[in-house]
Structure 1
Amino acid sequence: MIEFTWKVFEETGSIDTYLLFKELEKDRQDEPLNTDHEFSELDFPIS
């Protein structure tokens, strides 16, 4: 999602899109890295 938002900003120069990008970037940095857990849920979904 963050890459898409950046591409839209590059194409349009929209300030709103840039602000959304920065918000997504900040949220991404605040999240703990749980990729192993996320991948295991994809393989074995919890019902």
Structure 2
Amino acid sequence: KKYHPINDMDSDAWNALNMRTRYYTTRLHVGAFYLPAFLEEMLREVEDC
């Protein structure tokens, strides 16, 4: 892949734009790519098989 959704996120650049949105934040952006704990556990169990 060319871009990584979290590692290539430049929060400082986004914040420098001084854009105010009702929904989007850089924390929301990062959080959107995390899995709930129960799914992480299920994936670990599958990988161990």
TM > 0.5 fold call: no
TM-score normalised by the chain length of structure 1: 0.30
Which structure has more relative contact order (CA 8 Å, sep 6+)? It is 2
Which structure shows the bigger proportion of residues in helix conformation?
A: 1
TM-score, scaled to structure 2: 0.30
